[in-house]
Chains A and B, each alone.
Chain A
Amino acid sequence: MNWEVIGSYLPLYWKAMLLTLRIGWIGIVFAILLGVLCAIVRFYKIPVLSQLAGVYIEVFRNTPLLVQLFFLYFALPKIGIPIRADFCGALGLALLGGAYMAETFRSGLESVAGIQTESALSLGMNKSQVVTHIIFPQAFARSVPSFVANIIFLLKETSVFSAISLMDLMFTAKDLIGLYYKTTECLTLLVVFYALILIPVSVLGDRLERRVRHAEFGD
């Protein structure tokens, strides 16, 4: 291991990580919004929209992000929809993540509905009161484990961004290996930087899961 090499590569990796984080976080925020929207549409079986959301969810859950990105980035310009690489990365991540988040939130909602709803109704609450005070808080708590898993999954998926020539960590590593053959150093830095992104998320996620479980449901 050559520490001088590592030192000289650090700023490049740092920059690459910031790019991953920037696109990743925008993508994830929109994925959550899209997921909530689709989950509600599916949960209430709103005609037409529910079917559309269903098709969207199945399509994006059953195709790889890499292929989705290739389509968005290389194919759409051919029918007159050019798209910037970083925007494309965030969009792809949001579309993929939206499909996963939708299923997470929907199953959370469905696990609470039923007799809990009835007991709230029997106290005279109207539908929107039942949703905001009874269903949503519990559904969210129940969605947390799957929600955390989705966030980790999506952050890992950002590793394909280099395919649409975004200068992320993978791109930087591959580039440097090709240029200088400092393979060990490059790969070590790659692992360290991904660990830097994902271990805190994993730890925070665990803590959130435990807190929710204790606060809301015990054991």
Chain B
Amino acid sequence: MSENKKEEIIKVNHITKRYDDNSVLEDFSLSVYEGEVVVIVGPSGCGKSTILRIMNGLEPIQKGEVTYRGEKVDGKLGSITRIREKVGMVFQSYELFPHKTILQNVMLAPVLVQKRDKKEVKEEALQLLARVGLAEKKDSYPRQLSGGQKQRVAIVRALCMHPEVLLFDEVTAALDPEMVREVLEVILSLAKEGKTMVIVTHEMAFAEAIADRVIFLDAGQIEEEGTAEEFFRHPKSERAKQFLNSFTYEKK
């Protein structure tokens, strides 16, 4: 595969994740390469979001390891925060900081964590906000925005940290249908720029349009893996066919 020539950014290596006694992921491995858009799909509760959370060190694992450009992602304070700077994450529930304005939300981490110059960060933040069509909202508070607008801000907030990888955890699942598009357009434009991304989503049309590689996950295992074309047009496994069928309707 051509990806193999590119540098491996995140590697999830033989990990096992359990909640209490329920195993969510068992001996799971996945590598993400530079410039690649990996989309993870699968039925609810199959562990998709857990993978993203583990990649960002938010979830303790029982076995295996996660490496970022060869460096181990573990609970150690210094390394984990440095890696998180490089790995941006956008949540389903936006999680903007309600006590800060939109601009402050975007500027907080670059200034605080990366100690960047305030003026320069502000300039960039305003540019990014303008790019997603929200420049005039810079002094609003999150509560004054719609769900779609909040999610676009959350993406900008992650982008302003200049991450090398972006993780999207079902970012449109909480949105009204008419707001889904405005968010997905932003993500598509990032893909065109060649950003490295790992996306968990239920939007199959979007997944097909954006993915370089699709991972179909079922019960904590990779059931099928391939290009968007392969997976959506010619699924091999029975489970994948069933899963894709569940998105189409027929009047009997």
Contact = CB atoms under 8 A, between A and B. Distances in A.
27 contacts: A115-B91, A115-B93, A115-B95, A118-B58, A118-B91, A119-B95, A120-B97, A121-B56, A122-B56, A122-B87, A123-B84, A123-B88, A123-B108, A123-B158, A124-B84, A124-B85, A124-B161, A125-B109, A126-B77, A129-B112, A129-B113, A133-B112, A138-B97, A216-B98, A216-B99, A217-B99, A218-B143
Interface in A176-219: 215-219
B50 interface: no
Contacts of B56: 121-122
A141 interface: yes
B44 to A, nearest CB: 18
Interface of A: 115-116, 118-127, 129, 133-134, 137-138, 141, 215-219
A134 B95 CA distance: 11
Contact of B95 (A118, A124, A141, A217): A118
Given A121-B81, A137-B99, 10 more contacts: A116-B95, A120-B97, A122-B87, A122-B91, A122-B167, A123-B84, A124-B114, A125-B112, A126-B113, A127-B77
Interface residues of B, number: 32
Contact of A123 (B77, B161, B167): B161
Contact of A138 (B58, B99, B108): B99
Nearest to A126: B81
A122 B112 contact: no
A217 B141 CA distance: 8
B41 interface: no
Contacts of A218: 141, 143-144
B58 A121 contact: yes
A12 to B, nearest CB: 47
B63 interface: no
Contacts of A122: 56, 58, 84, 87-89, 91, 158, 167
Contact of B108 (A115, A121, A126, A133): A133
A123 B157 contact: yes
A74 B164 CA distance: 68
B236 interface: no
A122 B89 CA distance: 6
Contacts of B234: none
Contacts of B81: 121, 124-126
Nearest to B91: A119
B143 A217 contact: yes
